[in-house]
Amino acid sequence: MDSDKYPGTTSRRRFVKGVLGASVLAGVGTAGGAAVTTATNPAGLGGGNIEFLGIELVEGPAPRGMPLIPVEIGDDGTISGLWPEAEQRDVGGRSVAVAQTDVGGTTYSTEWFQYCGIQDIPAIDPEADQDNTFRYDESSPYDWQSEDVTAGDPMNVADFEDYNSWGNGIGQAGLGKPATGTWRSDGVDSEETLPVQVLRIADSEADRMRQDPTMAAWLDAAAPENVLAWLSKCTHFCCVPGFKSTPQSTQFNAENDVYCPCHQSVYDPFSLVSESFVALPRPEGE
Ligand code: FES
């Protein structure tokens, strides 16, 4: 008898735990939904429902596009991402640092990037004093990057001169020239970098995109010399996708798009769309 009681108690406890665990997970899964905001806001800063402009998700399990980064080009050709001046705002009775500004009629906020753990890294703090230059990364899938430039160097628009004809044997040449890099990540642990993809769009594609008023406004305000940039973090499970970065993309009709090798999500960098999601809050004390 006694020996029967223990297994019974144990399994009941397990069952209760399992139910609790499942309901918590269900809340997170509904998501991005209100459950996340309610559960996390008291313990963090910022976050919540936010509209963003991104490259469009066209295929696969990812929930939405990847957020764009407004580009600036310096007098010497250096390419940087815009990080708005931070200011303190009263959010729900608390003073929270917010970095946002109008870009071509869109309210651009650094909260666009608060997902996939990015919200936890120090460089995402609106007030963090980081270098905004895009720098070439170490493990680029593009031969031109390993041959012509050095990892860690600032990206320069002069490196993209052949943007109207560039190709690498994957899909169609002449759509634009890509690069991979990091942003606001100088001197930080490689686990804590902001991965970016830059694509200097071919004139023919940019002309086509400009037929759409939203895209024209973004290209004019935030893609000087056709240099478009976005955070390279798949909105599904946070892998780093790429434009013409693997021949495997051909099997999924994604050879002229941005392809995520983890679960075959496909994004169209020549289509920019407005969407919303629940940005995750930054940790306290950052
Ligand atoms: S498709 Fe799953 S991580 Fe990109």
pLDDT digits (tens, 9 = 90+) for 112-124: 999 999 999 989 9
Query: How many CA atoms within 13 Å lie on the side-chain side of 140?
Result: 24
Q: What is the mean pLDDT of residues 215-232?
A: 98
Q: How far apart are the CA of 245 and the centre of ligand 1, in A?
A: 15
- Residue 92 pLDDT grade (very low, low, confident, very high; cuts 50, 70, 90): confident
Nearest atom within ligand 1 for CA of residue 234: 4
Beta bridge partners of 94: 91
Residues 6+ apart with CB under 8 A from 152: 135, 136, 138
Nearest atom within ligand 1 for CA of residue 241: 4
- Structure-token pair, residue 112: 């666009």
For the chain, the average pLDDT equals: 85
* CB of 266 shorter than 6 A to ligand 1: no
CB neighbours of residue 180 within 10 Å: 23
| More confident: 16 or 94 | 94
Least confident of 182-186, 244-248, 259-263: 182-186
Least confident of 6-20, 100-114, 167-181: 6-20
Beta bridge partners of 91: 94
- Mutate which of 246, 263, 266, 267 for ligand 1? The one with the most ligand atoms within 8 Å of its CB, which is 263
Cβ atoms 149, 159 nearer than 8 A? yes
Q: Which of 249, 280, 223 is nearest to 60 (CA)?
A: 249
* CB of 265 shorter than 6 A to ligand 1: yes
CB neighbours of residue 266 within 10 Å: 20
Q: Which residue has the tokens 């069952």?
A: 15
Displacement of CA 120 from its chain's centroid (Å): 14
| More confident: 181 or 47 | 181
